[in-house]
């Protein structure tokens, strides 16, 4: 998988036994297994979210002739303007 041979795995196990101790080693292994499973679940949910196409944005209502579009900051708003009278 990562180029680890059985000799490497035995060496890692011996170092883990020395550092953690034989009594706590099963607890540490179980905690690591749970952590790895949670990480895999989180990464798969992120991959599903990223690969799922998003819905197209809803079509905006067309701006009528009596309205003027005013841009403020990041947004644009349609503001009603009174119709001009030709007297």
How many domains are contained in the chain? 1
H-helix segments, the chain: 6-20, 25-51
Q: So what's the pLDDT on residue 25?
A: 87
Select the more confidently predicted residue: 18 or 67.
Answer: 18
Residue 44 resides in a domain? yes
Q: Is residue 43 situated within a structural domain?
A: yes
**How confident is the model at residue 48, as a pLDDT?**
85
Question: Is 71 within the bounds of a domain?
Answer: no
Which residues have CB under 8 Å from 66's CB, separation 6+?
80, 81, 82, 83
In a domain? residue 63: no
In a domain, 80, yes or no: no
Report the pLDDT value the prediction gives residue 41, as an integer from 0 to 100. 94
Range of the domain at 18: 6-51
* Distance, CA of 25 to CA of 33 (rounded, Å): 12
The reported pLDDT for the residue numbered 61 is: 58
Whether residue 63 has pLDDT greater than 70 = no
Q: pLDDT tens, 10-59?
A: 998 899 889 988 889 889 889 999 999 999 999 998 888 888 766 665 56
pLDDT value at residue 7? 93
pLDDT of residue 37: 96
């Amino acid at each position: 998988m990562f180029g680890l041979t059985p000799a490497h795995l035995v060496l890692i196990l011996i170092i883990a036994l020395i550092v953690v101790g034989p009594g706590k080693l099963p607890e540490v292994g179980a905690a690591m297994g749970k952590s790895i499973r949670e990480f895999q679940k989180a990464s798969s949910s992120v991959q599903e979210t990223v690969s799922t196409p998003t819905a197209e944005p809803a079509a905006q209502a067309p701006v009528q002739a009596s309205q003027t579009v005013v841009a403020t900051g990041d947004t644009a708003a349609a503001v009603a303007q009174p119709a001009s009278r030709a007297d």
